[in-house]
Structure 1
């Protein structure tokens, strides 16, 4: 299976939900507001998700219980990180890739709602 097709149907639904939220709210609000509204849209679309998922880390015998916190995990397969800022920096994309490697999840989305058009705020990564 081609990388672009991994979890494509779920990804499409998530992106549709994000576009719907952005269409109604526009840019400039708090990340937490977008998260709440996006979760509502995911429910409407029949997708299961977890919010603020704690991700532990093991480092040379040290166990750090809540080393990271994932904004959303959709259908247990896709990590969704939300932003509401000027732009997505390389460090944010690196963070998403790290989360994917640590969880073993192959697909990640970074959604930045602080853009005039939501299509310009979408980054999709596949491991």
Structure 2
């Protein structure tokens, strides 16, 4: 398990690099599912461990509610990655990533929108939470 902020930040750099590689080959305008499948291939190529379409359990008043939420990727059990292909991301997309991070107790999340001309400058948003603050 990665135990430092520096290592988590380095991991997020690799993830963003993988997304840029996908975007460089495909460009904007495709379906989210296409980017998601290509992102899985790219994460595998660079050797990162990830879970795709991972179900996020929810507990409500002692009752487990299953099957409602799935994050696109959980990389190295440290970073939630949510893929979009929309004209613009909205606050609800930010909330989605933050909720996934908190439910999974994950320190960092990245929201990627592939429907942009430049993924590096305007297609990604990074989030941290209290679990990141707990890292060394």
Aligned to 2:84: 83
Aligned to 1:126: 128
For the residue of structure 2 that corresponds to 1:7, the secondary structure is helix
In structure 1, what is the Cα distance between the partners aligned to 2:114 and 2:101?
Answer: 21
Aligned to 2:134: none
1:103 maps to 2:125: no
Contact 1:80–1:110 (CA<8 Å) still a contact in 2? yes
Q: Does 31-40 or 62-71 show the bigger shift? A: 62-71
Aligned to 1:112: 113
Unaligned runs of 5+ in 1: none
Deviation at 1:61, TM superposition (A): 2.7
What count of residue pairs does the alignment treat as equivalent? 126
Runs of 4+ residues deviating >2 angstroms: none
Contact 1:6–1:107 (CA<8 Å) still a contact in 2? no
CA RMSD of aligned residues (A): 1.5
If the length of structure 2 is used for normalisation, what is the TM-score? 0.87
Q: Deviations over 1:51-91 (max 9, x none)?
A: 00001111113221122101001111110000000111011
